[in-house]
């Protein structure tokens, strides 16, 4: 019997993964919802006690968590790798990735994305529809670029940071760890760690507070395996 693909997360990212990348032979696991956001016959589980059985049925996985949740995505992926599941990449055929750019593990690249020469997309990143990553950019683990955002050359998007829809990042800017650039913002100076910035030009709005309770619950799920 062929081993299955585990999709961790039953929300909109799972729908995109299934429909845009034509995934088959799937199991969905999401401990935070009662049922997935799609009507299908795909097996769905939400009880922690079921996870050990699911891991035995699956050989590979993708974590379908987006929307400023890069840390959650990374922690879950790292734990699944430790349990010998293979992370898969979801790279849409209608994206353009220059051969000199490098793509890490468990990366989602949506339709219309352009990644220009000498860029580095590290593990557990998500690049949404029609985003542009110019030359010599570096996305660290867990970064997410929302739809139609544009990164000019030489930008560094650090660990678990998010760049919102239609945002523009000027050349050589650093968007620091766990920060969030609001939709439509124009970033002309570096963004500090854990800051949310909005506007044109982008200015500090407030701190990006992580859901530590949810992170703790996720870690407990793996601890009990």
Which active-site residues does the annotation give?
135
| DSSP at 43 | -
Greatest Cα-to-Cα distance within the chain, rounded to the nearest angstrom: 56
Buried b (16+ CB within 10 A) or exposed e, 188-200: eeebeebbbbbee
Which residues, at least 6 apart from 138, have a Cβ–Cβ distance to it below 8 Å? 119, 120, 122, 155, 156, 157
Here the tokens at position 74 are 């990374």
Q: What is d(CA 198, CA 158) in angstroms, rounded to the nearest whole number?
A: 18
């Amino acid at each position: 019997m062929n081993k299955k693909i585990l999709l961790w997360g039953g929300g909109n990212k799972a729908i995109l993964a299934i429909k845009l990348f034509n995934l088959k032979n799937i199991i969905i696991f999401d401990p935070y919802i009662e049922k997935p956001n799609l009507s299908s016959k795909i097996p769905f589980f939400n009880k922690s006690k079921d996870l050990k059985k699911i891991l035995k049925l699956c050989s590979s996985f993708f974590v379908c968590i987006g929307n400023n949740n890069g840390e959650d995505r990374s922690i879950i992926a790292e734990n699944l790798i430790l349990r010998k599941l293979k992370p898969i990449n979801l790279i849409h055929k209608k994206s353009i990735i220059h051969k000199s750019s490098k793509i890490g593990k468990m990366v989602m690249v949506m339709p219309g994305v352009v990644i220009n020469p000498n860029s580095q997309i590290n593990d557990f990143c998500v690049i949404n529809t029609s985003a542009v990553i110019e030359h010599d950019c570096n996305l660290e683990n867990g970064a997410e670029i929302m739809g139609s955002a544009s990164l000019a050359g030489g930008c560094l998007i650090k660990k678990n940071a998010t760049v919102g829809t239609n945002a523009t990042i000027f050349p050589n800017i650093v968007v620091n760890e766990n920060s969030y650039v609001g939709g439509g913002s124009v970033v002309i100076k570096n963004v500090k760690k854990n800051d949310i910035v909005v506007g044109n030009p982008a200015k500090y709005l407030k701190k990006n507070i992580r859901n530590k309770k949810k992170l703790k619950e996720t870690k407990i799920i793996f601890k009990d395996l």
